[in-house]
């Protein structure tokens, strides 16, 4: 009871104290001076960049604190709660009030996605070492459950597999859910992507540490705007003409949307998969098989001498 109260108190601090501070640091006016922007796609990119670093630092602080007092997964979760405030107070990309509007899309898309790529690289390079630190220094359950949750950072194959599954899982989840440019749906899509990454990664690569799954999912912070930049303004413009929105789903997410969703979703998915892995431990060769061997059957068969009761056999007088 006491542990649960402490955990949810930390979540409350992240949600109602750290989160609003992150939102204040990242909320910026867009380049047009009217619509909301993002930290770097704004009228003052320098101040926006400093605000972005400050918000990431605050989220990292509450995440590290929660990982020491509660668990590493709870540290990720609290950091994600704080970053959700930052994402919610930044602009959407598509739509009537989005940063990329059909009226001048050819001239906007290239500049917007270039700045978003820099923003995504800042989020990735800042959160990646924080995710590793929280997982390695944070608390984990004792015994076999804790060893299974922590993973094996020295296993290179498991690490690579975990990063790959995290990336593919995050991409799949975001692709399925990001059906519009609405801010709530964008953050929800990123959260589902993180959840799929954590769940699939822990089931399919149970020896990979949780931070490997988070790193794979966080790669989307840079890969999503890079895809928009690679496609070019003409392709993006064609997806937004006449008020429509046929953008690729991941192009509707900003790096802060992805960062918040990944930190929020990965521990949830990892925890769900962990409960299944703990209930179904992997068998080793030293464990007995389900079918008894002939030697085992022979060892328990009664022998004639063992059937004597009081010195007489069952058929004797």
pLDDT in tens, 9-65: 999 999 999 999 999 999 887 776 667 889 998 888 999 999 999 999 999 999 999
CA-to-CA distance for 52 and 38, rounded, in angstroms?
A: 9
pLDDT average, residue stretch 294-307: 51
CA-to-CA distance for 263 and 59, rounded, in angstroms?
A: 10
Please determine, for residue 67, whether its predicted confidence score (pLDDT) is greater than 90. Answer: yes
CA angle 296, 301, 307 (to 5 degrees): 155
Question: Are residues 200 and 169 in contact, defined by beta-carbon separation less than 8 angstroms?
Answer: yes
12, 155, 221, 274 from 266: Cα distances, Å: 19, 20, 15, 12
- Please say whether the dihedral angle defined by the alpha carbons of residues 263, 268, 273 and 278, taken in this order, is positive or negative: positive
Please determine, for residue 258, whether its predicted confidence score (pLDDT) is greater than 60. Answer: yes
Backbone angles phi, psi at 24, to 5 degrees: -65, -35
CA-to-CA distance for 131 and 75, rounded, in angstroms?
A: 9
Q: What is the pLDDT of residue 314?
A: 46
Q: What is the pLDDT of residue 274?
A: 84
Strand partners, 309: 312
Closest CA to 259 of 130, 134, 97, 153: 130
pLDDT band (50, 70, 90) for residue 124:
very high
Structure tokens at 272: 């769900």
pLDDT average, residue stretch 273-291: 56
Q: Would you tell me how many other CB atoms lie within 10 Å of the CB of residue 307?
A: 11
CA-to-CA distance for 39 and 30, rounded, in angstroms?
A: 9
Region class of 124: left (phi > 0), else alpha (psi between -120 and 50), else beta:
alpha
Quote the crossing angle between the two packed helices 255-279 and 105-137, to the nearest 10°. 40
Please determine, for residue 186, whether its predicted confidence score (pLDDT) is greater than 60. Answer: yes
Instruction: Tally helices (H) and strands (E) across the chain.
Output: 12, 0
The overall average pLDDT reported for the chain is 82
pLDDT in tens, 137-149: 998 876 555 666 7
Beta carbons within 8 Å of 226's beta carbon, 6+ residues apart: 113, 117, 120
pLDDT in tens, 192-245: 999 999 999 999 998 999 999 999 999 999 999 999 888 765 556 555 544 456
Q: What is the pLDDT of residue 182?
A: 87
Please determine, for residue 257, whether its predicted confidence score (pLDDT) is greater than 90. Answer: yes
Beta carbons within 8 Å of 309's beta carbon, 6+ residues apart: none
Tokens 């070492």 identify what position?
Answer: 129
Q: Say which residue, 106 or 190, is predicted with more confidence.
A: 190
Tokens 């794979």 identify what position?
Answer: 216
Structure tokens at 61: 């602080």
Q: What is the pLDDT of residue 230?
A: 85
């Amino acid at each position: 009871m006491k542990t649960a109260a402490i955990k949810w108190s930390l979540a409350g601090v992240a949600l109602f104290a750290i989160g609003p501070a992150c939102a204040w640091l990242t909320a910026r006016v867009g380049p047009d001076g009217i619509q909301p922007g993002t930290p770097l796609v704004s009228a003052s990119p320098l101040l926006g960049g400093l605000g972005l670093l400050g918000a990431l630092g605050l989220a990292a602080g509450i995440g590290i604190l929660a990982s020491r007092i509660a668990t590493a997964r709870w540290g990720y979760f609290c950091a994600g709660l704080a970053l959700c405030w930052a994402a919610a107070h930044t602009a959407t990309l598509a739509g009537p009030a989005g940063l990329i509007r059909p009226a001048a899309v050819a001239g906007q898309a290239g500049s917007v996605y270039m700045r978003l790529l820099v923003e995504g690289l800042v989020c990735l390079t800042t959160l990646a070492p924080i995710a590793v630190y929280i997982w390695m220094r944070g608390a984990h359950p004792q015994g076999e459950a804790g060893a299974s949750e922590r993973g094996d950072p020295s296993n290179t194959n498991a690490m690579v597999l975990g990063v790959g599954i995290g990336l593919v899982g995050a991409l799949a989840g975001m692709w399925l859910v990001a059906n519009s440019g609405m801010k709530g749906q964008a953050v929800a899509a990123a959260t589902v992507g993180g959840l799929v990454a954590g769940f699939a990664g822990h089931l399919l690569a149970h020896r990979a540490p949780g931070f490997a799954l988070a790193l794979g999912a966080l790669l989307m912070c840079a890969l999503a705007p890079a895809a928009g930049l690679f496609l070019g303004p003409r392709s993006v413009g064609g997806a937004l003409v006449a008020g429509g929105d046929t953008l690729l789903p991941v192009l509707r997410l900003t790096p802060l949307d992805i960062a918040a969703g990944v930190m929020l979703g990965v521990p949830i998915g990892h925890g769900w998969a962990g409960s299944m892995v703990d209930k179904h431990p992997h068998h080793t060769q030293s464990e007995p098989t389900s079918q008894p061997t002939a030697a085992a059957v022979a060892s328990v068969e009664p022998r004639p001498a063992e059937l004597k009761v009081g010195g007489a056999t069952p058929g004797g007088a």
